[in-house]
Amino acid sequence: KESKQQRTMDSQHFEDFESSPATEADSKTDQYFSSYGEELADLPESKPEDDVVILEDSGPSITSTSKSPEVSQKHVKSEQKKAKNKQKKYRKKESKKGSQVPKDNRKGKQFRDSKKRGPKRNDKRNDKHAPKSSPKEEFEEGAEGVIEQLLLENIERNHEDRRRRKNKKRSENKKGKKGKDSKVMHAEGGRKPAPTDKKHGKNQNASRKRQPSFVPKSVSKGNKKRDWPVWKRSEWKSRLQNQVLEGRLRVDKKGEVIIYGQLCTFLPTDKSFPKMMIRKSALQKNQSQPLPTEIFKVMVKTWPLWSKNPHCTKAKKGAKVSDKKQGDTARNGEMNEVRNSLNQKAESRVTEKTADVIEKSSARNTRIPSTNKAEDISQPREKNKRPAKLEKSCASNVGTPSKSRGESSTGTPERKEKKRREVWKKHMLPEDVAKSKDLILGEIRVNGKNSRRAYVSRGEGLRDILIDGHSRRNRAIHGDTVAVKLLQSDSKESKSNSDDEGQSPLGEVVAIMKAGDKRDGLVTGTLTGAARDGVVDFSKDKVCRFIPLDKRLPVGLVGRSRWPVEFMEEMKKKNSVEKEKEKKMSGGIPEDAPTYIYAVKFQDWELHQRMPFVDLKQKIGMTGNIKAETHAILTECDVDYDFDGKFEEDCIACLKPFEQKESKKGNWEIPQAEINRRVDLRHKRITTIDPTTARDLDDAISIDKVKGKNGVFRVGVHIADVTYFLEPNSALDEEAKHRATTIYLVQKSLPMLPRLLSENLCSLAPKVDRLAFSCFFTMSATGQLLPEPKPWFGRTVIRTCCQLDYKTAQKLVDTDLNNVVDSKEFYEEMEMPERMVPISGVSLKDVTRDLKLFTKIAMMRRRSRFNTGAVTLNRAKVGFALDENQLPYEMFEYKRGHSNKMIEEYMLLANLLVAEKLRSVFPEGSLLRMQPDPDKNQLLQMQELMKALGHPIQVSSGKELHDSMEKLDKKSVNGVNLRAFAEMLLTKPMKLAMYVCSSQDSSCKHYALNFDSYTHFTSPIRRYVDVIVHRQLAHAIIKAPNDTYITEDVKKPTAKSTEPPVSTLYNRSTIEDIADTCNQRKMNAKQASEMSSRVYLALCLRTKPLISKAAIIDMGYKSFKVLIHNLGMDRQIYVQDIKAAEAYVVNKQGEKIDEKNESKIPKIERFLQIVWNAGDKPIRVGLLEPLTVKLTAKMAPPPIDMRVSVIRDDSEITKNDLEVTEGDESKEEVAPKKEEKKVEALKRSTSLASDPGDLYGNDY
């Protein structure tokens, strides 16, 4: 141990040395150290010397630059001994940890920032994965790292000395203490960790470490950090200009966009890019249009001198987001250029200064210790040997960053990919699938009620392949076209396919051949925590779950960096609520039920991912909100155009020639030249009959007696001539083709054509001239279609006499003809507004006479059609009465009368005759509509069930099936109509109708209608197929002209009609493409209508739960299905959801049914057994036996729907419980207290959320 006197002498000696005059070399060295990193260009120059000493060392080493030759050799030896002891400790640590570099425990702010940016390319000290190198290699890595290391070690030494003086105990126990006279520096590879303030836990030297000026850093003010970096103006051209980025506008806590004058702040999704500014005018077409709050794309344009941030504008449609790697590469190149320019200027000066420092150290006879060899710097070196090769190494290391472990060739940090365990099997390649003969291709269909089960069709007459379990589905999503491998021999299954007792063969997906719409399109759903209870642990969870509203789709994952702010706030609120606290209920809805709906897109599903990741595209709104729910419905149904039905400017420009400006009255008038080319029917008594709220009136009817023939009538069906206004291949025509159909929701509709056409120019409104495409045919009084005179098709001009609705038309049919008078009192009695009153010159009695004649012929025609094999499904429909805010306050069962069926019959006849005309002219290219025969196996299963219930039916033909249904219509069991029960079962084997291109080799029969040829001709305003059929019919008339007879008393055209354009003479491939598009769009529109009805039903039940009678129509061992015949709906109820003491499914003997014995017990012998309270007598309910159910709204978890609960007959029924209102004769006591006229008007204003031609499955 050193004595106190010796320590005093050493410190005094060091102070004398500090006060001694410095040499010239010392002053230059100090000048360089003080000016490093700030004024490199102003450093003095000096010539490098050859006596540069570098000692190689595998561990920590010490470089001494003592300034006095009087330093004692004893002190140097003590320092060398200490260094060796440290080296031994270092080797012990290294042997435990491997070759890892000791972790740096500095926690300073600048050090943390540098960690975020990653390691420097030419500084291995910041790279954890860099291999250990010798002092020589470390010195050769660049002058910048050497000088910076010397500075840091000098600072660390000063802090270490201060701590030693303060801590007396530590200084007494330590041996070989260091004094101020020891100017020992550690080499880079073995340097000590930075000193840490134990009291505050902060790095004392972090504030002194200088960051390079060329690295964009996250600027901090106070304790607030900016999420987006601040860039220099010199960098933006190479990185940002003309780049397409994705992001959103900055909003406040209320969700409103923050506006600074005329500018808004754009926040890129990728936070490596800076914030930008965008003008309001670039986002708004007019001031009334709201600013977007969802994610959109922009293009970076300029950076004005007066602005702190770059400026951008909205990107064009279809613009692709710039690749992030391109920007990173450009950034890395720019940083390297700056680094090169700085180091090249300082290279020679750094070399000279470093050599000069070591030269002076050598002059003072200071020795540098080494673990391998202690080389004496006083010995002369060979002249030809350059020990360090400083100039070459500096140039190579500074100009091109060294590629160390963990770095890519560009110098950027590269994460070493870990081999993750694959949880899925690899898919086969398409070429391998093509070679295999054992695989089956088909579209996969996932069961929405049991997502573990999926099916792939094998063709007509064969059972579908069952894909049981998620592992066998192998990442396939509903709607994908997949290749399936059978898991068992198909030889046995082929026999059982034609047998009812056979089961579906099992299979597994081995390849995905074509992605479905759900994989590539937007999917709506909600976010919840990754845990089973949905709670988020913000300290651990790195992902959250995305739950699609469509239960057929897989659950997705969202990374924490992509979590929306609304979701995190919602999760924090849920976490703050005590789990034990009972939730309050209001109308059957928990208070915390509403949650946000998001639209996402699936990412690629990798082999190691159990669930796919999704990209959040937009926030839609809260569940239960009409606008948000409607937005989610349309997004889910792949509606990729304006949700309000608006059209682009290029589409509207196609209608400029027909704008309302040519007439003094303000309405467009038909040119006289066009009238001369058409048959004039404006003097005929033509009537429209449509729903009350209809504004797109596209069909009308007329009837005339054929002179000279008793009981023979010429019926005319007149359809709006849309093709006159819709130019082929125009922008509007392409948009109509894309939309394909009008979508009908409860509160609104999304038209296929602009409202200027659908509700004005093409609508067959009364008292105005309109262009039409007419079809005339001859019928007898008994409803038979007569061959002579033959049908006639052609373009006409009409003027309807009145616009009736179904209810008023039925009233007139039921009224005695002698009581019908043209008076104001009679109009008020019949509740006929002005639009229903006939025009001048037409008597209401004549209109009533026509309606009675129409109805008589149509009912006879309908009877004969069903006698020949037609089938119809009369399922109930539910309508809603809406208030001023489009919210439902009442629901009722919609029933139709003879007027509905009358219009249906004439539209079906017109479609039939047009299809026969087209097929006779274009046998290989007509656009037709067909419906395949129902599944025979399922029909036979239905027949067996009905036979077991004691009500046998025949299913061998359509006529036998219809006759059986008519017999069941007069029977009921326990209040359940047997026909309604049978029709519910019949929906399973029945197949959907579809559009096809005609062919002579294949059948185009429509099963339900029993027509050999059928098409859609009567609704061109709401269906694009009808537009194509009109164009094909125009060519067919020219190739096969009509007979001269049209109808009685007509004005024939005085000018030659124009020929249709050649471009509308479509080939087979075009017709097939149009048919496929229209099939898909029609299915999406039907799905949207059903989902809209479901939402409105839930909102109606939200305030008024309903108690009703239901009947069991299907029975499993875990669940059963009930029919609520008043609503025309069936719902599945799980046994475990019944709130009773005991509930399970048993057989006749009372034995519980499970998965082992389920297949052995027929459904007719299964019973639902319920024990409401312990000790009560069990109650058994079988098929077709009644249950009492309560209907409430299910708002959480989304999607909102109707919840059906089984209750006791006498438990929850009160006077306030509602019953479904039947028909238009609603019970007034169930409606809110409003005026009767207002309630009736609101009922009329509602929609059934269904295509008028698809009501009851009649397909017209």
pLDDT digits (tens, 9 = 90+) for 539-551: 888 999 999 998 8
pLDDT of residue 668: 78
Residue 904 CA to residue 855 CA, distance in Å, equals: 11
Nearest to 910 by CA among 1190, 747, 715: 715
Cβ-count burial 310-338 (b if 16+ within 10 Å, e if not): bbbbbbeeeeeebeeeebeebbbeebbeb
pLDDT, mean of residues 1152-1170:
89
How confident is residue 775, by pLDDT bands cut at 50, 70 and 90? Answer: very high
User: What mean pLDDT comes out for the span 125-146?
Assistant: 48
How many CA atoms does the CB half-sphere of 423 hold within 13 Å?
Answer: 11
842-859 confidence digits (pLDDT tens)? 999 999 999 999 999 999
Q: What is the mean pLDDT of residues 905-927?
A: 94
- pLDDT, residue 459, reads 74
Please check whether residue 976 is in contact with residue 1183, taking contact to mean a CB–CB distance below 8 angstroms: no
pLDDT score of 868: 87
Other beta carbons within 10 angstroms of residue 1029's beta carbon come to 28
Residue 133, pLDDT above cutoff 50: no
What's the confidence (pLDDT) of residue 1227?
31
Which range, of 333-347, 456-470, 733-747, averages the lowest pLDDT? Answer: 333-347
Q: Select, from the ranges 622-626, 1074-1078, 1160-1164, the one with the highest average predicted confidence (pLDDT).
A: 1074-1078
CA distance 702 to 849: 12
Tokens linked to 113: 């920032």
**Which positions ≥6 away from 710 have C-beta within 8 Å?**
none
Closest CA to 857 of 714, 1022, 668, 1006: 714
pLDDT tens readout for residues 1193-1241: 888 777 888 899 999 876 544 434 444 433 333 333 333 333 343 334 3
pLDDT tens-digit readout, 404-418: 334 443 444 445 556
Given this model, what pLDDT does residue 684 score? 92
pLDDT digits (tens, 9 = 90+) for 1015-1066: 999 999 999 999 999 999 999 999 999 888 899 888 889 888 888 999 999 9
Which residue stretches of 717-830 are H helix? 731-739, 755-756, 806-814, 824-829
Nearest to 949 by CA among 997, 982, 913: 982
- Here the tokens at position 1007 are 């099963």
Q: What is the pLDDT of residue 260?
A: 85
Beta bridge partners of 316: none
CA–CA dist 1008, 986 (Å, integer) = 12
Is the model's pLDDT at 995 over the cut of 80? Answer: yes
pLDDT mean over 627-656: 89
Vertex 221: Cα angle to 215 and 222 (nearest 5): 130
- Give DSSP secondary structure letters for 771-802: EEEEEEEEEETTSPEESSSPPEEEEEEE-BSE
Q: Which residue has the higher pLDDT, 1153 or 1197?
A: 1153
- Whether residue 298 is predicted with pLDDT greater than 60 in this model: the reply is yes
Range with the poorest average pLDDT among 363-372, 417-426, 524-533? 363-372
Question: pLDDT above 70 covers what percent of the chain?
Answer: 68
Considering only residues 872 and 391, tell me which one the structure prediction assigns the higher pLDDT.
Answer: 872
What residue has token string 């250990």?
Answer: 132
CB 1168 within 8 A of CB 1143: yes
Q: Which of 127-141, 160-174, 286-300, 1083-1097 has the lowest mean pLDDT?
A: 127-141
Beta-bridge partner residues of 529: 544
Task: State the pLDDT confidence band at 1170, using cuts at 50, 70 and 90.
Answer: very high
The CA distance from 117 to 96, in Å, is 29
Helix (H) / strand (E) containing 994: strand 994-997
Report which listed range, 90-94, 596-600, 968-972, 1029-1033, is most confident: 1029-1033
Cis peptide, bond prior to residue 671, ω within 30 of zero: no
What pLDDT, on a 0 to 100 scale, did the predictor assign at position 96?
53
Residue 111 has pLDDT above 60, yes or no: no
Name the residue with higher pLDDT: 84 or 97: 84
Paired strand residues for 525? 548, 598
Per the CB < 8 A criterion, the answer to whether 438 and 486 are in contact is yes
Question: Which residues is 221 bridged to in the sheet?
Answer: 224
Residue type, 136: K
Confidence (pLDDT) at 240? 79
The predicted-structure confidence for 558-568, as pLDDT tens digits, reads as follows 999 899 988 88
Average pLDDT score, the chain = 75
The residues pairing with 931 across neighbouring beta strands, listed in sequence order, are 1006
Residues 766-782, mean pLDDT to the nearest whole number: 93
Q: What's the pLDDT score for residue 980?
A: 83
- Kindly compute the dihedral angle of the four CA atoms of residues 41, 43, 46, 50, in this order, to the nearest 10 degrees: -80
C-alpha–C-alpha distance, residues 575 and 541, integer Å: 14
Lowest mean pLDDT among 302-311, 1136-1145, 1162-1171: 302-311
- For 719-737, how does the pLDDT look when each residue is reduced to its tens digit (9 = 90+)? 999 999 999 999 999 999 9
Among 1130, 1160, 1129, 1137, residue whose Cα is nearest residue 1147 = 1160
Tokens of 782: 């008994």
Question: What percent of the chain shows pLDDT beyond 90?
Answer: 33
The pLDDT of residue 51 is: 39
Residue bearing the bigger pLDDT, 581 or 1098: 1098
C-alpha to C-alpha distance for 764 and 798, rounded to whole angstroms: 8
What is the identity of the amino acid at 268?
A: P
Please check whether residue 313 is in contact with residue 270, taking contact to mean a CB–CB distance below 8 angstroms.
no
Q: What's the CA gap between 957 and 941, in Å, rounded?
A: 15
